[in-house]
Amino acid sequence: MKKVLSIALPAILIAGLFTACTKENTNLSKGNSVASNKSLAPVPSSDNWQQLPGTGTDIGIGIGNNHVIFAINTTLVTSTTGNQVVKWDSINSTWNVVPGGAGVRIAVDVDGNPWVVNKSNLIYKYNGSTWTLLPGTGTDIGIGANGIVYAINTTTTAGGYQVVKWNGTAWTVIPGGSGVKITVDATGYVWVVNKSNSIFKYDGSNWTQMPGTATDIGAGGSIGSSIYIVGTTLVSSTGGYRISKWNGTGWTDTASGAGVNIAVDWMGHPWATNASNLIYRNLNI
């Protein structure tokens, strides 16, 4: 679902998280899209956002027993499959290409294995050595700390597409579920953004509309759940939309966060890709 090379990270001269950076700042070579520079560029912000090497279009983070991070980068594999799948090396601060992987959306299960939806809406799972094609089709995928896998399939509904749950061999439709983006929190609740940017939560029995609007959503945290959204308030054309955190009753805006796709790690910290495909993480909130 939702992909190594060297990069020279520029100094961030302008306060304002993602808006201060453009693709030109990455100084990438043509052979790859992910950097191997070991230095990270902190962005001046009360939120303590930090730019990582490389570029990406989506991020998936394992919040179960294996704290691993994968991404889809910006190097095209084929027009029908999507971009490279890459894995974060926290020791060397670099992204390593996962052989054979390609997609547009990505999530990571409790065993540290990435699940990918590719450009043709096919779903693949990686076991550390082999990519396996799974039944069905999808447009997004989310996996909870409890190991349960959900997806948005390709069957049209009023709010986007059906929400489905993996039963080990096939996908089961969740009644009433409809959306375009999906995540699963630490308690196993499903959060969905539909095509009208409305947010819904599923508790295993009922769907409840939540306050606010969003374009993407991510959940993480090993104890309790940290939920973040990419909202609908445009910060800049190069950064994307305002990033906000669920406070129990509504959404609290981050001071400077902006992006287009979001994921949350096991500590509850958000990671995002922005409109310029730059990758950021926040170690403070």
For residue 166, which phi and psi values (nearest 5 degrees)? -80, 130
So what's the pLDDT on residue 284?
Answer: 82
Q: Which residues pair with 172 in a beta bridge?
A: 165
Q: Are strands 49-55 and 278-282 parallel, antiparallel or unpaired?
A: antiparallel
State which residues of the chain have pLDDT below 70. 1-46, 223-224
Residues 143, 281: Cα–Cα separation, whole Å: 20
- What CATH homologous superfamily does 18-282 map to? TolB, C-terminal domain (2.120.10.30)
Residues 187-229 pLDDT 10s: 899 999 999 999 999 999 999 999 999 999 999 987 668 999 9
So what's the pLDDT on residue 221?
Answer: 87
Cβ 180 vs Cβ 193: under 8 Å? yes
Residues 239-273 pLDDT 10s: 999 999 999 999 999 999 999 999 999 999 999 99
Give the tokens for residue 139: 């447009």
Side chain identity, residue 159: G
So what's the pLDDT on residue 109?
Answer: 95
Angle among Cα 153, 155, 108 to the nearest 5 degrees reads 5
Residues 87, 98: Cα–Cα separation, whole Å: 7
Prediction pTM value? 0.85
Element (H, E) at 53: strand 49-55
So what's the pLDDT on residue 223?
Answer: 67
Percent residues over pLDDT 70 in the chain: 82
Residues 227, 285: Cα–Cα separation, whole Å: 11
So what's the pLDDT on residue 5?
Answer: 34
Q: Where are the domains of the chain?
A: 18-282
User: Across all residues in the chain, what is the average pLDDT?
Assistant: 86
Give the tokens for residue 173: 């439709």
For residue 26, which phi and psi values (nearest 5 degrees)? -75, -25
